């Protein structure tokens, strides 16, 4: 789920009223900011393109942009509110490159003996854009946002 703050940052939105932001719509070739971004109940993100793009189209465009963006440890640190040093030393998180995109690797030690280490690879700020890596570095499992309602990007 992408938060209101992440949406505002991703789209370089500017504040238009006390409760709303506006940005250039990612779903059409937008010269002027046509997209209104608001915050609904429960932190849901409200979107409306004044040029007429359907909600689903705007949502998909934002998801695509999130996926293309990648993730750096410094961004993950800001999202979690934890220092980079702590994440590196205590959690052993690492900046990596996955298929040309910046990503963060999260190692997990499995079993009581602690012999096996598997890594979870997180590709973007979307918490569903994450998968387990096997020993050969192959992608063995992926979870993706699929059926979130629009308000839930």
**Residue (32 or 99) nearer to Zn ion, CB:** 32
H-type alpha helices, the chain: 4-10, 55-69, 73-80, 84-89
Instruction: Out of 8, 16, 28, 60, point to the residue binding Zn ion (CB under 5 A).
Output: 28
Kindly calculate the radius of gyration of the chain based on its CA atoms and give it in whole angstroms.
18
Write the interaction track for Zn ion spanning residues 53-92; mark x where CB under 5 A is met and - where it is not: x---------------------------------------
Q: Which stretch binds Zn ion (CB under 5 A): 8-16, 46-54, 82-90, 98-106?
A: 46-54
Residue 131's region, left for phi above 0, alpha for psi from -120 to 50, else beta, is beta
Q: Which stretch binds Zn ion (CB under 5 A): 36-44, 47-55, 67-75, 131-139?
A: 47-55
The CB-of-84 to Zn ion minimum distance in angstroms stands at 36
Quote the Cα angle for 122-71-28, to 5°.
110
């Amino acid at each position: 789920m992408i938060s209101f703050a992440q949406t505002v940052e991703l789209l370089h939105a500017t504040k238009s009223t006390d409760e709303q932001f506006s940005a250039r719509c990612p779903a059409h070739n937008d010269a002027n900011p046509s997209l209104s971004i608001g915050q609904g109940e429960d932190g849901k993100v409200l979107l409306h393109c004044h040029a007429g793009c359907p909600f689903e189209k705007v949502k998909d465009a934002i998801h695509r942009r999130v996926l293309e963006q990648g993730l750096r440890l410094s961004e993950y640190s800001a999202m979690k509110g934890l220092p980079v040093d702590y994440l590196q030393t205590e959690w052993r998180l690492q900046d990596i490159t996955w298929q040309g995109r910046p990503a963060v690797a999260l190692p997990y030690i499995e079993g009581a003996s602690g012999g096996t280490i598997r890594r979870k690879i997180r590709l973007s700020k979307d918490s569903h854009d994450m998968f387990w890596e096997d020993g050969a570095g192959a992608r063995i499992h992926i979870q993706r946002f699929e059926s979130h309602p629009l308000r839930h990007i």
